Amino acid sequence: MDFMVLRLIENALAEDIGAGDVTTDLLVPEGEKGKGYIVAKEGLVVAGTDIACRVFEFLDPMMKVDILAKDGEWVEPGSRVIEASGSMRGLLAGERTALNFLQRLSGIATYTRRCVKELEGTDVRLVDTRKTTPGLRVLEKYAVRVGGAHNHRAGLFDGVLIKDNHIAACGGIRQAIERARGAVHHLLKTEIEVSSLEQVGEAITAGADVVMLDNMDEETIRKAVEIINGRALVEVSGSVKMEDLRRLAKTGVDIISMGSLTHSARAVDLSMRISSKVEESANS
Amino acid sequence: MDFMVLRLIENALAEDIGAGDVTTDLLVPEGEKGKGYIVAKEGLVVAGTDIACRVFEFLDPMMKVDILAKDGEWVEPGSRVIEASGSMRGLLAGERTALNFLQRLSGIATYTRRCVKELEGTDVRLVDTRKTTPGLRVLEKYAVRVGGAHNHRAGLFDGVLIKDNHIAACGGIRQAIERARGAVHHLLKTEIEVSSLEQVGEAITAGADVVMLDNMDEETIRKAVEIINGRALVEVSGSVKMEDLRRLAKTGVDIISMGSLTHSARAVDLSMRISSKVEESANS
Amino acid sequence: MDFMVLRLIENALAEDIGAGDVTTDLLVPEGEKGKGYIVAKEGLVVAGTDIACRVFEFLDPMMKVDILAKDGEWVEPGSRVIEASGSMRGLLAGERTALNFLQRLSGIATYTRRCVKELEGTDVRLVDTRKTTPGLRVLEKYAVRVGGAHNHRAGLFDGVLIKDNHIAACGGIRQAIERARGAVHHLLKTEIEVSSLEQVGEAITAGADVVMLDNMDEETIRKAVEIINGRALVEVSGSVKMEDLRRLAKTGVDIISMGSLTHSARAVDLSMRISSKVEESANS
Amino acid sequence: MDFMVLRLIENALAEDIGAGDVTTDLLVPEGEKGKGYIVAKEGLVVAGTDIACRVFEFLDPMMKVDILAKDGEWVEPGSRVIEASGSMRGLLAGERTALNFLQRLSGIATYTRRCVKELEGTDVRLVDTRKTTPGLRVLEKYAVRVGGAHNHRAGLFDGVLIKDNHIAACGGIRQAIERARGAVHHLLKTEIEVSSLEQVGEAITAGADVVMLDNMDEETIRKAVEIINGRALVEVSGSVKMEDLRRLAKTGVDIISMGSLTHSARAVDLSMRISSKVEESANS
Amino acid sequence: MDFMVLRLIENALAEDIGAGDVTTDLLVPEGEKGKGYIVAKEGLVVAGTDIACRVFEFLDPMMKVDILAKDGEWVEPGSRVIEASGSMRGLLAGERTALNFLQRLSGIATYTRRCVKELEGTDVRLVDTRKTTPGLRVLEKYAVRVGGAHNHRAGLFDGVLIKDNHIAACGGIRQAIERARGAVHHLLKTEIEVSSLEQVGEAITAGADVVMLDNMDEETIRKAVEIINGRALVEVSGSVKMEDLRRLAKTGVDIISMGSLTHSARAVDLSMRISSKVEESANS
Amino acid sequence: MDFMVLRLIENALAEDIGAGDVTTDLLVPEGEKGKGYIVAKEGLVVAGTDIACRVFEFLDPMMKVDILAKDGEWVEPGSRVIEASGSMRGLLAGERTALNFLQRLSGIATYTRRCVKELEGTDVRLVDTRKTTPGLRVLEKYAVRVGGAHNHRAGLFDGVLIKDNHIAACGGIRQAIERARGAVHHLLKTEIEVSSLEQVGEAITAGADVVMLDNMDEETIRKAVEIINGRALVEVSGSVKMEDLRRLAKTGVDIISMGSLTHSARAVDLSMRISSKVEESANS
The mean pLDDT values, 10 residues at a time, for chain B of 284 residues are 83 94 94 96 98 96 97 98 96 97 98 98 97 96 98 97 93 96 96 97 97 96 98 95 96 97 96 76 42
Reported confidence tier of residue D48, pLDDT bands at 50, 70, 90: very high
Say what the pTM is: 0.94
pLDDT at D11 over 70: yes
Residue F228 CA, distance from chain mean position: 30
Question: Using an 8 Å Cβ cutoff, are A50 and A1 in contact?
Answer: no
The amino acid sitting at E43 is G
Region A2-115+266-283: CATH code: 3.90.1170.20
Mean pLDDT rounded to a whole number for chain D: 94
Judged by a CB distance cut-off of 8 A, whether residue F18 touches chain D is yes
Question: Using an 8 Å Cβ cutoff, are C106 and C270 in contact?
Answer: yes
Q: Which of B2, B3, B138 sits opposite E19 (nearest CB)?
A: B138
| CA-based nearest distance B56→chain F, Å | 29
Q: What pLDDT sits at residue B252? A: 97
Q: What pLDDT sits at residue A278? A: 53
User: Which architecture does CATH list for A150-257?
Assistant: Alpha-Beta Barrel (3.20)
Indicate the domain borders of chain D: 2-115+266-283, 150-257
| CA-based nearest distance A83→chain F, Å | 23
| CA-based nearest distance D18→chain E, Å | 26
Question: Using an 8 Å Cβ cutoff, are A193 and C187 in contact?
Answer: no
Strands (E), A141-280: 160-162, 190-194, 210-214, 233-237, 255-257, 270-276
Q: What pLDDT sits at residue F276? A: 83
Question: Do the first three CATH levels of A2-115+266-283 and A150-257 match, i.e. the same topology?
Answer: no
Q: What pLDDT sits at residue B1? A: 56
Strands (E), chain C: 33-40, 44-45, 64-67, 74-75, 80-87, 125-127, 160-162, 190-194, 210-214, 233-237, 255-257, 270-276
Name the pairing type of β-strands D33-40 and D270-276.
Answer: antiparallel
Q: CA nearest C69: which of C94, C85, C52, C55?
A: C52
Pairwise CB contact (< 8 Å): D19 & B18? yes
- Assess whether E174 carries a catalytic annotation: no
Pairwise CB contact (< 8 Å): E158 & C19? yes
**Average of per-residue pLDDT across D233-249:** 95
Pairwise CB contact (< 8 Å): C127 & A185? yes
Q: Residues of D with CB below 8 A from C136's CB?
A: 133-135
Judged by a CB distance cut-off of 8 A, whether residue B19 touches chain D is yes
Catalytic residue annotation of B: 96, 131, 163, 193, 214
Q: Classify residue E242 by its DSSP letter.
A: G
Reported confidence tier of residue F3, pLDDT bands at 50, 70, 90: confident
Pairwise CB contact (< 8 Å): D187 & E127? no
Name the pairing type of β-strands B74-75 and E160-162.
Answer: unpaired
Q: Is E6 helix (H, G, I), strand (E, B) or coil?
A: helix
Strands (E), chain D: 33-40, 44-45, 64-67, 74-75, 80-87, 125-127, 160-162, 190-194, 210-214, 233-237, 255-257, 270-276
| CA-based nearest distance E25→chain A, Å | 19
Pairwise CB contact (< 8 Å): D138 & F10? no
Q: Is F63 helix (H, G, I), strand (E, B) or coil?
A: coil
| CA-based nearest distance D265→chain C, Å | 7
Q: What pLDDT sits at residue C3? A: 74
Instruction: Point out the catalytic residue in the list A96, A130, A189, A277.
Output: A96
Judged by a CB distance cut-off of 8 A, whether residue B25 touches chain C is no
Pairwise CB contact (< 8 Å): F104 & E28? no
Under 8 Å CB pairs connecting chains C and D tally to 207
- Assess whether A214 carries a catalytic annotation: yes
Query: Which residue of B138, B185, B237 is the best one to mutate when testing the F interface, meaning the one whose CB has the most F CBs within 10 A?
Result: B185
Instruction: Point out the catalytic residue in the list F137, F163, F231, F246.
Output: F163
Q: Which of A10, A18, A19 sits opposite F3 (nearest CB)?
A: A10
β-sheet bridge partners, residue D212 = D193, D235
CB atoms within 10 A of CB E253: 25
**Average of per-residue pLDDT across A237-244:** 93
What residues of chain E, 221 to 260, have a C-beta less than 8 Å from chain D? 233, 235, 254-255
Judged by a CB distance cut-off of 8 A, whether residue D10 touches chain A is yes
Question: Using an 8 Å Cβ cutoff, are D206 and D173 in contact?
Answer: yes
| CA-based nearest distance D24→chain B, Å | 20
pLDDT at A134 over 70: yes
The CA-CA-CA angle for residues E85, E87, E93, to 5°, reads 100
- Using 70 as the pLDDT threshold, list the residues of chain C that sit under it: 1, 278-284
Question: Using an 8 Å Cβ cutoff, are E95 and E55 in contact?
Answer: no
The half-sphere exposure of D163 on its side-chain side, counting CA atoms within 13 A, is 20
Residue A76 φ/ψ region, left for φ over 0, alpha for ψ in the -120 to 50 degree band, beta for the rest: beta
The amino acid sitting at F184 is V
Query: Which residue of B150, B157, B186 is the best one to mutate when testing the F interface, meaning the one whose CB has the most F CBs within 10 A?
Result: B186
Judged by a CB distance cut-off of 8 A, whether residue D14 touches chain A is yes
Judged by a CB distance cut-off of 8 A, whether residue C278 touches chain A is no
Chains that touch B (3 or more CB pairs under 8 A): A, C, D, E, F
Share of chain F above pLDDT 70, in %: 97
Q: What pLDDT sits at residue E283? A: 43
Under 8 Å CB pairs connecting chains C and E tally to 20
Judged by a CB distance cut-off of 8 A, whether residue B13 touches chain C is yes
Residue F194 CA, distance from chain mean position: 26
* Angle between the N-to-C axes of helices A2-17 and A49-59, in degrees from 0 to 180, rounded to the nearest 10: 60
The amino acid sitting at F128 is D
Mean pLDDT rounded to a whole number for chain F: 94
Question: Using an 8 Å Cβ cutoff, are C6 and C54 in contact?
Answer: yes
Q: Which residue of B has its CA nearest to D18?
A: B18
d(CA D283, CA A44): 33
Kindly give, in sequence order, each residue whose CB lies less than 8 Å from that of residue E26, ignoring residues fewer than 6 positions away: F160, F179, F180, F183, F184
A54-57, long-range: CB < 8 A, 24+ apart: A54/A5, A54/A6, A54/A9, A55/A9, A55/A12, A55/A13, A55/A94, A55/A97, A55/A98, A55/A101, A56/A84, A56/A86, A56/A90, A56/A91, A56/A94, A56/A98
Strands (E), D99-199: 125-127, 160-162, 190-194
Q: What pLDDT sits at residue D280? A: 44
What residues of chain C, 40 to 99, have a C-beta less than 8 Å from chain D? 88, 91-93, 96-97, 99
Q: Is A232 helix (H, G, I), strand (E, B) or coil?
A: coil
pLDDT at D283 over 70: no
Reported confidence tier of residue E278, pLDDT bands at 50, 70, 90: low
Judged by a CB distance cut-off of 8 A, whether residue E19 touches chain A is yes
Q: Residues of C with CB below 8 A from E1's CB?
A: 13-14, 17, 20, 59, 93
Q: Which of F96, F154, F276 sits opposite E168 (nearest CB)?
A: F276
Reported confidence tier of residue E1, pLDDT bands at 50, 70, 90: low
Q: Residues of D with CB below 8 A from E150's CB?
A: 183, 185-186
- Assess whether E214 carries a catalytic annotation: yes
Q: What pLDDT sits at residue F1? A: 55
Q: Residues of D with CB below 8 A from B20's CB?
A: none
d(CA F228, CA F213): 11
pLDDT at F284 over 50: no
Judged by a CB distance cut-off of 8 A, whether residue A103 touches chain B is yes
Integer angstrom CA distances of residue F35 from A66, F70, F156, F274, F283: 39, 20, 43, 6, 16
Share of chain F above pLDDT 90, in %: 91
- Assess whether E178 carries a catalytic annotation: no
Reported confidence tier of residue D3, pLDDT bands at 50, 70, 90: confident
- Assess whether A83 carries a catalytic annotation: no
Q: What pLDDT sits at residue D1? A: 56
Pairwise CB contact (< 8 Å): B169 & A29? yes
d(CA C141, CA F72): 58
Q: Which of C1, C138, C155 sits opposite B13 (nearest CB)?
A: C1
d(CA B258, CA B239): 7
End-to-end CA distance of chain E: 32
Pairwise CB contact (< 8 Å): E3 & C20? no
Q: Which of B10, B19, B58 sits opposite C154 (nearest CB)?
A: B19
